[in-house]
Amino acid sequence: MPLGVIVNSLSIAVGGIIGAFAGNKLTDDFKEKINMIFGCCSMAMGISSIVLMENMPAVVFSVIIGTIIGLCIHLGELINKAGGLMRKAVSRFLSGGSGISEEEFNATLLTVIVLFCASGTGIYGSLAAGMSGDHSILFAKSILDLFTALIFACTLGAVVSAIAVPQFIIFFILFSLGGVIIPHTTPAMINDFKACGGFLMLATGFRMIKVKMFPTADMLPAMVLVMPVSLFWASVVMPAVASLV
């Protein structure tokens, strides 16, 4: 049973609903400062994952090529459009954002979608839960996501709760595939996968504190590339280089 996936999605749904109704009771200064703290936490979690990297060239290559692919297929724009549809759908039943501009709304919503649906922690946690039944990673993520959803919903409104739906679908698919994928990986591949997710979380943190708006959505294809590239680097490139020395 995907207990961790269910708990994680519920934490976003509940946090989003609470934040949507509590938003008017929190000052803009409070929301801005607490958002900076969440950005700092995201960056710290990203750095802690990056240090696990074992094959740096493979990870760097995956991040660069993956981002190029994302930019070429305009992945960020597609996610923005999906976010707009989510906002319209939810606004029929629940109140929307707190009057921020459309541009700021879309930029913030994109950050939240990536943060909830594409974090290395969530993706790896779903795979690990599917393989071993250990849901502890997703449980820990749920605690952070509950309060993160609450804070973002103060600005974006109840649309944040709707993100629980695509997140559940993505994580459930990964949970189901866990038994197929994990046995064919190595510890180095897993660490490089976490490191790649760390890059995304670091970039997401910079977006959250509004230092630099990294194209985090366009970086997502890197998560698909990194494990096979890591395997190719360790099993083909490194032995070839060693034979020449």
Cα 168 to chain centroid distance, Å, stands at 13
* pLDDT higher than threshold 70 for residue 53: yes
In the chain, the amino acid numbered 72 is C
DSSP string, the chain: --HHHHHHHHHHHHHHHHHHHHGGGS-HHHHHHHHHHHHHHHHHHHHHHHTT-S-HHHHHHHHHHHHHHHHHTTHHHHHHHHHHHHHHHHHTTS---SS--HHHHHHHHHHHHHHHHS-HHHHHHHHHHHHH---HHHHHHHHHHHHHHHHHHHHH-THHHHTHHHHHHHHHHHHHHHHHHGGG--HHHHHHHHHHHHHHHHHHHHHHTTS----TGGGTHHHHHHHHHHHHIIIIIHHHHHHH-
Confidence of residue 136 (pLDDT cuts 50, 70, 90): confident
Q: In this structure, how many other beta carbons lie within 10 angstroms of the beta carbon of residue 165?
A: 14
**Contacts of 169 by beta carbon, 8 Å cutoff, 6+ apart:** none
CA distance 198 to 49: 5
Query: Could you read off the pLDDT of 56-101 as tens digits, one per residue?
Result: 999 999 999 999 999 999 988 887 777 667 666 665 555 455 555 6
Q: Tell me, what's the pLDDT at 37?
A: 83
Query: Could you read off the pLDDT of 184-196 as tens digits, one per residue?
Result: 888 899 889 888 8
Contact between residue 223 and residue 200 where contact means Cβ atoms under 8 Å apart: yes
Query: Could you read off the pLDDT of 217-239 as tens digits, one per residue?
Result: 888 899 889 999 999 999 999 99
What average pLDDT does the structure give for the chain? 83
Angle 77-181-129 from CA coordinates, rounded to 5°: 85
The predicted model scores a pTM of: 0.77
- Dihedral angle over CA of 83, 79, 218, 157, nearest 10: 10
CA distance 195 to 199: 7
